[in-house]
Each structure stands twice: as structure tokens, then as C-alpha cells.
Amino acid sequence: MRILVPMDGSEQSWSAFDYAVEQFGDATFVCLRVIDPVKAGYGVGIGATAAANEWIQAEQDAAEEMFDSVRERAEEADVEVETHTEVGRPARTISEFAEDCDHVVIGSHGREGVSRILLGSVAETVVRRAPVPVTVVR
């Protein structure tokens, strides 16, 4: 069994990882970090492109650091883990990645009201779009 656990380094994503390990201990855990290029900010000119590329590289480096911690936790729990970093829109990328998995366990940031409407919810979109069952952990 392959369990997809999208991770962004937040407390909620770590809770989702811990929950997944607790509930599906004999599975292979596929930890995915999606880097949203929209957050890099787009401008006009070569300088803006260079800054965006530097930002994406910094995000990839941060993802690798997070995955070092994931691998440590996986080793302590004696579970198998794969790590992947992708650049793209988070909800879409997670849903597409889920096609090769049996289940998704995702953390929720728990936004409510106007904040949720304006920012959207990656977890909510994944629940609607993923081709496999999804568990949302708060």
C-alpha cells in the first residue's frame, strides 16, 4: 500500500505524517512537497526571473532539509518512505500524484470564513479531485 502525505513543513503536515504512520504502519509513505511558483512573484525583466529562480531553489533546499527530518522519523518508526519535490499548483499536483497511491493523508490549516473563501483550501480541493480516498488531519 502507498500512502501519499503532502508536506509543507507546517505543524499540520507533520501531524498528518504522524497520523499516517500510526494508522498505516506497514505502508510505503510517499511524502510530497509542492512548490507553488505563483508564490515566487512574477515581474517584468531579467532581474525578476532571476529572483524567482533563486526563490524556487531556496524552496527546493528547504524541502530537502524537511525531508531529512522525514527520513529520520521514518527510520525511528521503522517505515519505508519516498520523498518527492514538484513545482506546480499544490492541489492539482497532489491530486495527480495521488493517481499512483492508494490513499492520501493531508493536513488542514483549519481556515474558516472569509480567509478560507479568499485563499481556498488545498485539502478541500484534494478531497474533491483525488482519485483515491483522502483523510484530512487537523
Give residue-wise pLDDT tens across range 11-59: 999 999 999 999 999 999 999 999 998 876 655 555 667 778 888 899 9
Residue 5: strand pairing partners: 31
pTM across the whole model:
0.88
CATH number, domain 2-137, options 3.40.50.620, 3.40.50.2300, 3.40.50.970, 3.40.50.300: 3.40.50.620
Buried b (16+ CB within 10 A) or exposed e, 62-73: ebeebbeebeeb
Per-domain boundaries in the chain: 2-137
* Angstrom distances, CA of residue 29 to CA of 82, 89, 107, 124: 6, 21, 15, 21
Question: How far apart (Å, rounded) are the C-alpha atoms in residues 108 and 88?
Answer: 19
Contact between 82 and 30 under an 8 Å Cβ cutoff? The reply is yes
pLDDT at 50: 73
Q: Is 2 helix (H, G, I), strand (E, B) or coil?
A: strand
Calculate mean pLDDT across residues 120-138.
92
Question: Which one, of 81, 107, 78, 59, lies nearest residue 3 by Cα?
Answer: 81
Give residue-wise pLDDT tens across range 78-89: 999 999 999 999
